[in-house]
Amino acid sequence: MTMNTQTISGVFAGEVTGIDITRPLPDETIAAIEAGMDRHAVLVFHDQPLTDDTQRAFSRQFGELESAAGGHVTAVRDRRLPLDMQDASNLDQNQNVLTRDDRRRFFNLGNRLWHSDSSFRAVPAKYSLLSGRIVAEQGGNTEFADMRAAYDALDAATKAEIDGLVCEHSLMFSRGLLGFTELTEAEIAMFRPVCQPLVRVHPVTGRKSLFLSAHGGTIIGWPVPEARAFLRDLTEQATQRRFVYSHRWRQHDLVMWDNRQTMHRVTRFDESQPRDMRRTTIAGTATA
Ligand SMILES: [Fe+2]
């Protein structure tokens, strides 16, 4: 079998076939996947029954794994997964579905907002790799918006205006949008804002993209309400359906995306049923 990457009809994302990512892969295959990521920004691999170990092994070929430390209100001792895997499930450490009023669930609801993974970290994420171990029967799609196309579609005056702007990102801003503001002193210190440019340039293709995220809450030098209104306008424009691919999960899908070129969100699903999604994240490089 040879690896083949096909653009998914009508969207920017690609579907990769003819490859078994649960086994070690030669360097040229990894390079071909990287090239596919540069072009499509989202790649879908079906029928890949990964374990935590094989997911780690596949992921590590694209760079260093990011640690989940500092990115959640769940204490490290209460985590269901080790720190090198982000838990995108609705489960607690005993594999029980989180109850409706659990603050860990409130925090997870932030994933319903358009965001770029770890934009709240000084070193934001390069790639995220999400493995569908138990997928939702209804809903729970992961939607991706192409931030390159969104940038290209801006008028010249807006492009000139945003050139060089720097935003502050924090988990406090994204959770604040949902009214989840009850944080401890330690959490507030952990979620200290970091600076990110509003426009990024892809290191390989040179394409510009909008670096938006629900975590973005201020623009340096702007009044806060004006910055938030503007970021909201940009997000609305950037997430029009013509820029979006909505991924309907099948069990054992692995979806990989470039956080530098896309935003994503999860759609609503029946949270009384277990949904077990595990993410490995490739650390990027500091932007500021
Ligand atoms: Fe995410």
Q: How far is the CA of 89 from the centre of ligand 1 (A)?
A: 12
Residue 286 domain flag = no
Please tell me the distance between residue 209's alpha carbon and the centre of ligand 1 in angstroms: 18
Please report which confidence band the pLDDT of residue 288 belongs to, taking 50, 70 and 90 as the band edges.
low
Q: List b or e across 138-171, with b for residues whose CB sees 16 or more CB atoms inside 10 angstroms.
A: eebbbbbbbbbbbbeebeeeeeeebeebebbbbb
pLDDT tens for 225-246 read: 999 999 999 999 999 999 999 9
pLDDT in tens, 115-144: 999 999 999 999 999 999 999 999 999 999
Q: Percent of the chain having pLDDT more than 90? A: 96
Measured in Å, residue 66 CA sits from the centre of ligand 1 at 13
Averaged pLDDT for residues 35-54? 98
Task: Return the ∠ at Cα 140 (arms to 81 and 280), rounded to 5°.
Answer: 30
Cα-to-centroid distance, 9 and ligand 1 (Å): 24
What distance in angstroms lies between residue 144's CA and the mean position of ligand 1's atoms? 10
Mean pLDDT of the chain: 97
Rounded distance from Cα 166 to ligand 1 centre (Å)? 21
287 occurs within a structural domain: no
Q: How many CA atoms lie within 13 A of 208 on its CB side?
A: 14
The phi and psi torsions of 86 (rounded to 5 degrees) equal -90, 135
Quick one: pLDDT band at residue 35, thresholds 50, 70, 90? Answer: very high
The answer to whether residue 83 scores a pLDDT higher than 70 is yes
For residue 261, being part of any structural domain is answered with yes
Report whether pLDDT(45) > 70.
Answer: yes
Residue 260 falls inside a structural domain: yes
Residue 1 scores a pLDDT above 80: no
CATH of the domain at 92: 3.60.130.10
Exposure string over 247-267, b if 16+ CB within 10 A, otherwise e: bebeebbbbbbbbbbbbbbbe
pLDDT in tens, 186-228: 999 999 999 999 999 999 999 999 999 999 999 999 999 999 9
Residue, of 288 and 178, whose pLDDT is higher: 178
- Residues spanned by the domain of 225: 4-281
Q: In the chain, how many domains are there?
A: 1
Is 288 inside a domain boundary?
A: no
Q: What spacing in Å lies between the alpha carbon of 156 and ligand 1's midpoint?
A: 30
In the reported structure, the alpha carbon of residue 281 is separated from the centroid of ligand 1 by a whole-number distance in angstroms of 10
Is this structure's pTM higher than 0.75? yes
Please tell me the predicted confidence (pLDDT) of residue 9: 87
Asked if the model's pLDDT at residue 153 lies above 80, the reply is: yes
With a CB cutoff of 8 Å and minimum separation 6, the contacts of 250 are 46, 47, 132, 135
Query: Sorting pLDDT into bands at 50, 70 and 90, what band is 254?
Result: very high
Say how many Å lie between the CA of residue 70 and the centre of ligand 1: 15
User: Considering only CA atoms, which of 194, 212, 202 is closest in space to residue 154?
Assistant: 212
Q: How far is the CA of 1 from the centre of ligand 1 (A)?
A: 32
